[in-house]
Amino acid sequence: MKGPDHIREKIFNYETVSYVIAGVLTTAVDYIVFIIVNEALRAHGISEMKAVTAATAVSWAAAVLFAYAANKFAVFKNFDIKPAHMVREFSAFVSARVLSGAITLILMWLMTGFAGWNEYLAKVITSVFNVVFNYVASKLFIFKK
């Protein structure tokens, strides 16, 4: 029978700890870009819903580019840079992020437009979903050994 040490080793290993760090940094990129774009659009008279939607899309794209590099090289230690491999891998990574990005847009719309929640609270909630979904996709489908 495997005890608490085994569970601790499964949870607190290089891959999961570095994924959390990369995720925090990716989230920071996402939030910073979201705030800058959202506030800039709102300052130019763009409606809240349009500003939130545009800021979410732009911040998502910036976070995806950062996350690909962080996950490939730092988390999963995948240094295969052959063009064919990278195209296939990046395509899979972006596809998974497109799915999570679409879900994020829907969740943001539901929480801010439909439920009337604060956009920053909604952003935190969608981030929790993204961390879990994206780790599973990266681990099982994209950067698998």
Q: Tokens 């800058």, residue?
A: 36
Residue 1's pLDDT is 59
What are the residue ranges in the chain where pLDDT is below 70?
A: 1, 145
* pTM confidence score: 0.72
Torsion angle, alpha carbons of 75, 77, 80, 86, to 10 = -10
Encode the chain in three state secondary structure.
Answer: CCCHHHHHHHHCCHHHHHHHHHHHHHHHHHHHHHHHHHHHHHHCCCCHHHHHHHHHHHHHHHHHHHHHHHHHHHHCCCCCCCHHHHHHHHHHHHHHHHHHHHHHHHHHHHHHHHCCCCHHHHHHHHHHHHHHHHHHHHHHHHCCC
Residue 63's pLDDT is 92
Residue 122's pLDDT is 94
